Amino acid sequence: MKPAGRDTDDGAGALRRVAPPARRFLARRTGVLARLGLWSLAETGQAFLVGYGVAQAVDRGFLAGDTRRGLLWLAVALVAVLCGAPVIRGVFTQLAGLTEPLRDGLARRAVDRSLARAAAGGSAGADRAAVSRLTNQVEIARDSFAGLVLTLRSFVFTAAGALLGLLSLDPALLVVVLPPLTGGLALFLATLRPMAAAQRRALAADEALGDHAGRSRAALRDLTAFGTGPEAARRGAELVDEAAAAARALAGWAAVRTAALGVAGHLPVLALLLAVPWLRGRGVTAGALLGAFTFLVQSLLPALHTLMTALGAAGSRLLVVLDRVNGPEPAGAPAPGRRAGPKTAPLPAPGASDAGPAAAVELRSVTLSYGARAEPVLDSLDLCVAPGEHLAVVGPSGIGKSTLTRLVAGTLAPSAGEVRVAGLRVAGRTPAELAALRVLVPQEAYVFSGSVVDNLAYLRPDADRADVDAAVGALGLRPLVERLGGLDAPVRPAELSPGERQLLALARAHLSAAPLLLLDEATCHLDPASEARAEEALARRPGTLLVVAHRLSSAVRADRVLVLDGTEAVCGTHQEVLDRSPLYRDLTGHWNGGPARGT
């Protein structure tokens, strides 16, 4: 899977986007922040007293032979530790004043966006899944934010107390402790950006996989009708691979971050141990050394460890989720207020990077085998269909006619060669992009429970009544629509004949805005007169028509005929292929129920 551009940028881009709303959010809550700061100040005092109390207990008490004073200082340190519980309680009370408004705001925005998408024409099922994913991500954002505020604040105030304590004991202690501490921290900070990018990629891969599974479930009937189940499975497997690769990349950065954590968390203690002789030489007392170790082991390093863990995991997660929930609509999403069809996307502009010659359909040396060792169904096939042309594809059963339509429709990828529609490569296009390029009508027409107009306007939801009415008239559908009770009457697919279902599907294709129609024996249940009327109406429609023909009349009506004959193919007007293709002569003879003849 190729993630969208927005999903591939690094954490700096997300940080830039998230920073302004974050600043506004915090600026509106200065009161809560001030109260949180006051409670946190108590942590500074607590951190200071724990190490300082131990140092004084040793130097002024036990080593000076004054056990009572030593115990008194130890009691001071103990009280400082015990004070931690009410302090944390006060901090949590204030924390709710930050996290709950954040959760409410994000949830509101997530639901607004999903509603806007639904109003813009997305399918209800997909939107329910999107709301569920987004609200789940909002909960992640709230928990991550709470953890981050808690640990960031704790680190800043505890570190201030511990560093103040080290300074008060002896400034030389800072000289030993600060370099490994800041070095480890810097190393850790350097991993944050790639970590955020990996997190973003993992989330995008997860969503793409979820979307694909949801879409495939919804389109199960189409997949079965077109035989594109294996294609969908292959795409699913690609997405699973991408999700696995993204998770591996994320795990790789988590390992680097853990290594940085080890350096920052353990090197200061080691440096202090190694520097003991130098410090003793400078007159640092045993009590000061013990106090320094207490500051490191009891306060500074646990706070640093928690901060790094929280920043590394919750921080990058928060950044990514905030950016996704809060940022603009991802590329490709319908703009609010614009009604988009269920599977359509804007046609890429001609002249885009992969635009080629403007043939309606172009096959360049296309080969298709259904298996690695299978004989190719199509072998190095070249074909060029001009815009507005009407092409009939004929050939014996099992020769590859449906395969050809699926290749052109982009639901099947060629083993070799290239397929272009309207000058654009079809390979790698999303279903929405393909839907904007072509409509494929299979033999088994897809009609769903809904109103007649829902069925007809399915591929062009913005069609007005006049458009729908024109399609109904062109396809000779009026008697059927009247029998059903009008355009707003409900359709019960099981109560329609196969021919009636085909007429509805053909009228739907007529109404669509796609420039190419592919009919794969889509008129096989119609009588010859209805078939002629339908094909002529579809040929008159602006755009190109490619029909897999099953009657001679259908081939004769076309501008050109493509005869598939094993790995051979002959293309020309009806008369030309009659002259050049023995197979076509046989087929027309068979269709006519007698010897072949020209028209």
Ligand X SMILES: Nc1ncnc2c1ncn2[C@@H]1O[C@H](COP(=O)(O)OP(=O)(O)OP(=O)(O)O)[C@@H](O)[C@H]1O
Question: Of the two residues 185 and 408, which places its CB atom closer to ligand X in the complex?
Answer: 408
DSSP SS3 for 519: strand
Question: Of the two residues 12 and 374, which places its CB atom closer to ligand X in the complex?
Answer: 374
Question: Could you tell me the two tokens for 326?
Answer: 């809060």
CA distance 515 to 497: 29
Q: How far is the CB of 569 from ligand X (least distance, A)?
A: 12
Question: Could you tell me the two tokens for 204?
Answer: 């995008």
Contact predicate 376/329, CB 8 Å:
no
Q: How far is the CB of 525 from ligand X (least distance, A)?
A: 14
CA distance 125 to 16: 33
Question: Of the two residues 199 and 581, which places its CB atom closer to ligand X in the complex?
Answer: 581
Q: How far is the CB of 368 from ligand X (least distance, A)?
A: 8
Contact predicate 414/366, CB 8 Å:
yes
Sheet strands side by side (includes 424-425): 378-385, 361-368, 416-421, 424-425
Question: Of the two residues 326 and 411, which places its CB atom closer to ligand X in the complex?
Answer: 411
Question: Of the two residues 399 and 439, which places its CB atom closer to ligand X in the complex?
Answer: 399
Q: How far is the CB of 393 from ligand X (least distance, A)?
A: 8
Question: Of the two residues 257 and 401, which places its CB atom closer to ligand X in the complex?
Answer: 401
Site string for ligand X, 369-388 (x = CB under 6 A): -x------x-----------
Q: How far is the CB of 489 from ligand X (least distance, A)?
A: 33
Question: Of the two residues 90 and 227, which places its CB atom closer to ligand X in the complex?
Answer: 227
Question: Could you tell me the two tokens for 586?
Answer: 């046989």
Q: How far is the CB of 535 from ligand X (least distance, A)?
A: 18
Cα angle for residues 517, 478, 529 (degrees, 5° grid): 60
Which residues, other chains included, contact 388 with Cβ-Cβ below 8 Å and sequence gap of 6+?
360, 542, 543, 544
Question: Of the two residues 25 and 370, which places its CB atom closer to ligand X in the complex?
Answer: 370
Work out whether strand 416-421 and strand 424-425 pair parallel, antiparallel, or are unpaired: antiparallel
Question: Of the two residues 489 and 524, which places its CB atom closer to ligand X in the complex?
Answer: 524
Q: Which of 401, 329, 325, 344 lies closest to 144, judged by CA?
A: 325
Question: Of the two residues 284 and 399, which places its CB atom closer to ligand X in the complex?
Answer: 399
Size of residue set near ligand X by CB under 6 A: 12
Residue 3 phi, psi dihedral angles, 5° rounding: -65, 150
Q: How far is the CB of 397 from ligand X (least distance, A)?
A: 4
Question: Could you tell me the two tokens for 44?
Answer: 């500074």
Contact predicate 215/431, CB 8 Å:
yes
Question: Could you tell me the two tokens for 323?
Answer: 């950016």
Q: How far is the CB of 594 from ligand X (least distance, A)?
A: 22
Q: How far is the CB of 521 from ligand X (least distance, A)?
A: 7
Site for ligand X in 397-436 (CB under 6 A): 397-403
CA distance 490 to 454: 9
Q: How far is the CB of 548 from ligand X (least distance, A)?
A: 7
Which residues, other chains included, contact 123 with Cβ-Cβ below 8 Å and sequence gap of 6+?
218, 342
Place of tokens 């006060």: 90
Contact predicate 163/181, CB 8 Å:
no
Site for ligand X in 190-249 (CB under 6 A): 227, 230
Q: How far is the CB of 394 from ligand X (least distance, A)?
A: 9
Contact predicate 299/50, CB 8 Å:
yes
Q: Which of 321, 198, 314, 188 lies closest to 262, judged by CA?
A: 188
Question: Of the two residues 351 and 371, which places its CB atom closer to ligand X in the complex?
Answer: 371
Q: Which of 176, 169, 159 lies closest to 291, judged by CA?
A: 169
Contact between 395 and ligand X (CB under 6 A)?
yes
Task: Kindly list the residues in this chain that would bind ligand X in the complex (CB under 6 A).
Answer: 227, 230, 370, 377, 395, 397-403
